[in-house]
Amino acid sequence: MKTDKLRRLTAASLVLAFTLPQAAQAAAPSVETDESVYINMDYYGAPTNTRIVKGVSLNGHTEFTDFGSYADVYNMSTYDEPVIKDNSVYWKLSDTSKQRFYYECIPTDKVNIQMPWNFDVSYKLNGVPKNADELAGASGLIEIHIDAKFNDSAEVNEYYKNNFVLAVAVMLDTNECYSLEADGAQKQNIGSNSAVVFTALPGEDGDFTVRIGTDSFETSGVFMTMTPLTGSDLEH
């Protein structure tokens, strides 16, 4: 199998949901914004780039300002162009019928966003350590080890540290595997695909290992998702 069939093995999705302060019109109800932060990582768990997707409940407004420092901003809903100034983005929307509006932001700050967990991902083939890019189409016992260390840095928001739960998932095509072992994980079948999902509670480290027996290794990746622990928060 060609090496280009080794899809990106590691990706992280840090999902944050909260209402941002907005310099919208004074009339109630005001504009409300939630955001999802997507952090791409290399094969070994080091962050490489960050994108923030914002969903806006306009509540009848067509103009609002989002305060934040962004290198680029992309409209995902209309053809209106943003006005980007120092630490702010101003939107004036031409479609007055819209109730929901989406746009994507690339942060100006190149320093990695501090997440509640840091990751170190390593690989073995038949018990021998391997570089990730050597595993495309490999035959034998593939081992993926994910070391998730809780980040107690003062730079991490206390709410995230105390309330976010970690889920680490590895997606595989079971038709291409003759064995699958993941101690401590939940296994979910989705058609011919299978997901093994590990979890860690706030403040906990995670040590997760997946072993896949295959004649031709391929995976859609390792996904790390961090979400609020409480059911009421998950609704958002």
219 φ/ψ angles, rounded to the nearest 5 degrees? -145, 150
**119 close to 9: Cβ distance less than 8 angstroms:** no
pLDDT in tens, 125-177: 999 999 999 998 999 999 999 999 999 887 888 888 888 999 999 988 878 88
pLDDT of 12 strictly over 90 = no
Distance of CA 140 to the CA centre of its chain: 30
| Residue 60, both tokens | 């009848």
- Cα angle vertex 57, ends 223, 16, to 5°? 30
**213 close to 179: Cβ distance less than 8 angstroms:** yes
d(CA 69, CA 140): 48
d(CA 188, CA 146): 19
Does the global pTM surpass 0.85?
no
69 φ/ψ angles, rounded to the nearest 5 degrees? -105, 110
Nearest to 87 by CA among 73, 106, 102, 68: 68
Share of the chain above pLDDT 90, in %: 51
Helix (H) or strand (E) run with residue 158 in it: helix 158-163
Q: Lowest-confidence range among 25-34, 65-74, 97-106, 187-196? A: 25-34
